Amino acid sequence: MTQTDETFETDEANETDKIVEAAEDGTDMDGGDAEATAPTLAEVVYQLERLYPLKYAEDWDHPGLIVGDPLARVRRIYLAVDPTLAIVREAAAWGADLLVTHHPLFFRSVHQVAGTGHRGAVTNELERRGIALWVGHTNADAAHRGVSEALADKLGVRHQRPIVPVSDPDSMWDGQVGLGRVGELEKPMSLRNFADVVNSVLPPTRRGIDVAGDLHMPVRRVAVLAGSGDSLFEQVRATDADVYVTSDLRHHPVLDARQQADEEAMLRKAGIEVREGVITSVGDPGDITTADSDAVAGDSDVTDSDARVFARPALINTPHYASEKVWMDYALHDIPAALEDAGNRHVELRLSPTDTDPFTLHLDSPTEPVMPRPLF
Ligand SMILES: [Zn+2]
Ligand SMILES: [Zn+2]
């Protein structure tokens, strides 16, 4: 059926009236009205990009609407971390009109979407099933109630601020959005106990988590970056965090960061503070309390001064998928709330139950490694 813009708008206005009337007398709005009152993809994308502004994205990243007709109606939105073919088929089986994922389908410029490559196959499947794709990647990482904030909240991190702020003077969240989050636990606890907290709140994977650091060290200040975070060690060190929770940590950056942490701890013990290779203060070594691991192991009477003699930040490596899936709980609440606020009450959301962490088996080494001797 074709309509002129004018009649289309008139129909829309009538439908809006019907919603208001029905809402007033409590009539069920399902059935024939749902088709007409469902928002367009353009309207949904507009709301998504108010929640997760594209201007927060990193320069190399190109999130937003990837596949879809802006005029198509959206009744069902399917949420997942990764836009794999299996996820697209799940979305289609449920009758989704829009798939919202955190990870992009395309990272680099694309010259073809033939089905010979898996990205082309996903694109073709989306087209064939009439499903749009919207990606909230680094824009969603940085946003208020975005990916890193969701993970920090889950770990009990309070008084959060971004590790690297993104300026947004037009937003009420200016100064509170950006890369990663850093803040404090309500009560300090040992690194060993904090590792248990991290492992227990993350969605399930085969691998679990890895920890680098003295398990007795007290943890109060926590830096968090959901997803790959080993490019941010310098900025994390500047926050004086006791531990940094992130994903995809690799041998060289981790070994370097741990050696730097040891070096700075040795200097602190001698009363010398160093930041980015520059001596920032020289004090009396007697000012610094010697670590008391027995007190730390008990958690409750950890003092801030104890933390100064430990090599920090300790590092906790989490499965990338798990650290970011935590955000889905927020998206599942915030997206329909934003659509409802905009008057779109006929949109259903569903979260994929499938975990897309690619690893299928984890084995501990059969023999214990020989750990290096403590330096101090
Ligand atoms: Zn990611
Ligand atoms: Zn991310």
66, 211: one domain:
no
Q: How far is the CA of 19 from the centre of ligand 2 (A)?
A: 37
Q: What residue spans of the chain are helical by DSSP H? A: 5-25, 32-37, 41-51, 85-94, 118-129, 138-142, 147-154, 191-201, 233-237, 251-269, 293-297, 304-307, 320-325, 328-341
Q: Which two tokens stand for residue 175?
A: 């100064």
The answer to whether the beta carbons of residues 310 and 292 sit under 8 Å apart is no
260 and 309 part of one domain = yes
- With CA atoms as reference, report the closest residue to 98 among 87, 114, 113, 112: 87
> Which of these, 219, 260, 259, lies nearest to 241 by C-alpha position?
219
According to the model, what pLDDT value does residue 2 have?
A: 38
How remote is the CA of residue 373 from the centroid of ligand 1, in Å?
Answer: 35
Q: Are residues 207 and 289 in the same domain?
A: yes
Residue 31 is predicted with a pLDDT of 46
Taking the centre of ligand 2 as the mean of its atom positions, its distance from the CA of residue 50, in whole angstroms, is 18
What is the Cα–Cα distance from 95 to 75, expressed in whole angstroms?
Answer: 9
SS3 (DSSP) at 144 = coil
Predicted pLDDT at 36: 60
Going by pLDDT thresholds of 50, 70 and 90, the confidence category of residue 37 is confident
286 and 183 within one domain:
yes
Please calculate the CA angle 76-332-93 and round it to the nearest 5 degrees.
35
What mean pLDDT is predicted for residues 331-357?
A: 95
22 domain-assigned: no
Instruction: State in Å: Cα 212 to ligand 1 middle.
Output: 21
Q: Are residues 159 and 198 in the same domain?
A: yes
Residues 41-84 pLDDT 10s: 999 999 999 999 999 999 999 999 999 999 999 999 999 999 99
Q: What is the pLDDT of residue 115?
A: 85
- When comparing pLDDT for 374 and 190, which is higher? 190
For residue 227, report the distance from its CA to the centre of ligand 1, in Å: 4
User: Domain of 50: which CATH number?
Assistant: 3.40.1390.30
CA 172 vs CA 5, 10, 143, 209: distances in Å: 36, 36, 12, 35
> Are residues 198 and 309 part of one domain?
yes
180-232 pLDDT tens trace: 999 999 999 999 999 999 999 999 999 999 999 999 999 999 999 999 999 99
Beta-carbon neighbours within 5 Å of ion ligand 1: 227, 324
288 and 335 housed in the same domain? no
Q: Nearest ligand to the C-alpha of residue 52?
A: 2
Q: What confidence category does residue 372 fall into, taking pLDDT thresholds of 50, 70 and 90?
A: confident
> Residue 13 corresponds to which amino acid?
A
Ligand 2 centroid–CA 76 distance in Å is 24
One-letter amino acid of 154: K
pLDDT at 7 over 90: no
**Would you give the distance in Å from CA 216 to the centre of its chain?**
28
Within a domain: 20: no
- pLDDT band, residue 34 (cuts 50/70/90): low
Q: Does 311 lie in the same domain as 163?
A: yes
Query: Is 3 part of a structural domain of the chain?
Result: no
Q: Say yes or no: 104 and 165 in one domain.
A: no
Specify if 368 maps to a domain.
no
Express each pLDDT in 75-88 by its tens digit. 999 999 999 999 99
The CA 147 to ligand 2 mean position distance, Å, reads 6
For the residues 28-36, what does the mean pLDDT come to?
Answer: 50
pLDDT, averaged across the chain? 87
Choice between 105 and 269, residue whose per-residue pLDDT is larger: 105
Select from 307, 322, 337 the last residue of a domain.
322
- Ligand 1 center to 24 CA (angstroms): 44
- For 282-326, the pLDDT digits (tens) are 987 655 544 444 444 445 545 555 556 899 999 999 999 999 999
Mean pLDDT lowest for which of 107-121, 147-161, 220-234, 291-305?
291-305
Q: Is the pLDDT of residue 1 over 50?
A: no
pLDDT of 145 strictly over 90: yes
Say if 5 falls within a structural domain.
no
Question: Quick check: 23 pLDDT over 50?
Answer: no
Ligand nearest to the CA of 319: 1
Ligand approaching nearest to the C-alpha of 63 = 2
Proportion of the chain above pLDDT 70, given as a percent:
84
Q: Which bound ligand lies closest to the C-alpha atom of 146?
A: 2
Model confidence band, residue 276 (pLDDT cutoffs 50, 70, 90): confident
Range of the domain at 296: 147-322
pLDDT at 359 over 90: yes
Q: Give a yes or no: residue 72 inside a domain.
A: yes
Residues 90 and 118 in one domain: yes
Residues 151, 187, single domain; the answer is yes
Higher per-residue pLDDT: 190 or 12: 190
**What is the amino acid identity at position 170?**
D
* C-beta of residue 250 within 8 angstroms of C-beta of residue 315: no
248 and 111 co-located in one domain: no
Backbone angles phi, psi at 186, to 5 degrees: -60, -45
Q: Determine the pLDDT at residue 106.
A: 94
CA distance 37 to 144: 29
What's the pLDDT tens digit per position in 237-257?
A: 999 999 999 999 999 999 999
CA of 163 from ligand 2 middle (Å) equals 14
Say what the pLDDT of residue 239 is. Answer: 95
| pTM for the whole structure | 0.85
* Total number of domains in the chain: 2
The candidate with the shortest Cα–Cα distance to 45, out of 324, 338, 330, is 338
Of all ligands present, the nearest one to the C-alpha of 321 is 1
**Which is it for strands 178-179 and 181-190: parallel, antiparallel or unpaired?**
unpaired
Side-chain half-sphere exposure of 290, counting CA atoms within 13 A: 2
d(CA 187, CA 200): 18
What's the gap in Å between 103 CA and the centre of ligand 1? Answer: 6
